[in-house]
Amino acid sequence: MTGENQSFKDTGLRGVKVASTRISNVIGDEGKLIYRGYLINDLAKNATFEEVCYLMLHERLPGVRELEDFSSELKRRRGVEDEMIDALKTRPAGSNPMDILQGSIAFLANHHPHPALMTRENELDIGISLIAKMPTLMAAFDRIRNGRDPVSPNSDLGHAANFLYMLTGEVPKREIERIFDICLVLHAEHSFNASTFTARQISSTRAHMFASISGAVGSLSGDLHGGANERVMEMLMEIGSVDAIDDYIRKQFESGGKIMGMGHSVYKTKDPRARILEPMVKDVSELNGDKKWYEIATTLEKKALAAFTEKGKTGIHANVDFYSGALYYQLNIPIDLFTPVFAISRISGWIAHVIEEQFAEAAPKPMLYRPSADYVGEYCGPDECKFVPVEERQATST
């Protein structure tokens, strides 16, 4: 006997509204992304990541003095405990950086005097500290796994430049700093995507901020979510040249494989972030004097779009991961750090959501998420299964 509700369709919650939010809006059919009322295009052009973090956490853009204070606080809190660095040294060099990040955030809770104190001030304080420390942890792990000493944070540098500095030991050029800063702005927030929903869902149990954020990191690591940017670069490398694109698309279609970085569960037009990133990939290619990856990516996008349309699959366009992969690669960021870089930015949105989940003043007040499921398992007979002691059960395998 199977479940009774035969009309149930597994939708992955597409289009189901589970809460109200004041943080961001994704208008899929128009290709628009709005952070607290501001268009992403406007923010990418004019704002720094620090300004966007402030907007996320304080619900408005900062004034000059507020931004200075906020940036100074982030700088002051970049350092991590020696025990954390020692712990990173004990990790196998081949560990996945997203696993390291997820574990490190849980570890940080052990170093906090009151991780579970559920006040808005405490949650905000933890959030700011996590935004400040995540880049330090990831850069330190990358250096340690390559047999090098971690580089201490540089308080003369902004958030974006400091991460690249801690990774390479060199202060990035101004153009590169701004390009990376825009990447952080673009990835900061995206409404109820999988990892944000994970953070909110954990938070709805009144678990602490560290638990919500480490869970969100786990969710972001999957290939259908944040992990796609790494898979995109691997795909571009596998393709290797513009001439090999047709063959690659044909093989993917024949095998039922995906063109990574294309398609989105909400956008049915080109992702506005991909529109902003594409010319940035061109700029970096020109700075590096090698347009190979730009040419492969743009040609693949055009050809894949045509192939999807020919198959009657409309609305599958480049998403944010399509161009961020090629961009990070040309900034010399190791491929397995692409998703941690996404996390280093997205944490600002996660924190805003956790705070909204717990302290939203507007009705309706968020509740513990507890959906139901359509049971389709066996009953083994007219009623429930009768328990048979282990000695009396028929062996089912030899």
Ligand X SMILES: CC(C)(COP(=O)(O)OP(=O)(O)OC[C@H]1O[C@@H](n2cnc3c(N)ncnc32)[C@H](O)[C@@H]1OP(=O)(O)O)[C@@H](O)C(=O)NCCC(=O)NCCS
Residues with catalytic function: 264, 321
Q: How far is the CB of 319 from ligand X (least distance, A)?
A: 4
Where b means 16+ CB within 10 Å and e means fewer, 280-317 reads: bbbbbbeeeeeeebbebbbbbbebbbebbeeeeeeebb
Are 189 and 348 in contact by the 8 Å Cβ rule? The answer is yes
Q: What residues line the site for ligand X (CB under 6 A)?
A: 224, 228, 258-265, 313, 316, 319-321
For residue 34, the minimal CB distance to ligand X (Å) is: 17
Residue number of the CB closest to ligand X reads 263
Q: Minimum CB separation from ligand X for residue 150, in Å?
A: 31
The least distance separating ligand X from the CB of residue 245, rounded to whole angstroms, comes to 14
CB 220 within 8 A of CB 101: no
Give the nearer residue to ligand X in terms of CB position, either 306 or 367: 306
Q: How far is the CB of 273 from ligand X (least distance, A)?
A: 9
CB 308 within 8 A of CB 316: yes
Whole-number Cα distances in Å, 381 to 115, 223, 392:
49, 40, 18
- Are residues 36 and 23 in contact, defined by beta-carbon separation less than 8 angstroms? yes
**Cβ nearer to ligand X, comparing 215 with 263:** 263
CA–CA gap between residue 268 and residue 374 (Å, rounded): 29
End-to-end CA distance of the chain: 28
Q: Min. distance of Cβ 152 from ligand X in angstroms? A: 34
Q: How many CA atoms lie within 13 A of 191 on its CB side?
A: 21
CB atoms within 10 A of CB 258: 16
* Nearest C-alpha neighbor of 55 from the set 75, 72, 41, 34: 34
Closest residue by Cα to residue 126 from 342, 340, 350, 339:
350
Q: 51 or 301: whose CB is closer to ligand X? A: 301
Query: Based on CB atoms, which residue is closest to ligand X, 112 or 258?
Result: 258
Of the pair 6, 11, the CB lying nearest ligand X is at 11
Rounded Cα distance, 59 and 276, in Å: 24
Query: Between residues 157 and 316, which has the closer beta carbon with respect to ligand X?
Result: 316
Which among 345, 61, 312, 337 is positioned nearest to 193, based on CA atoms?
Answer: 345
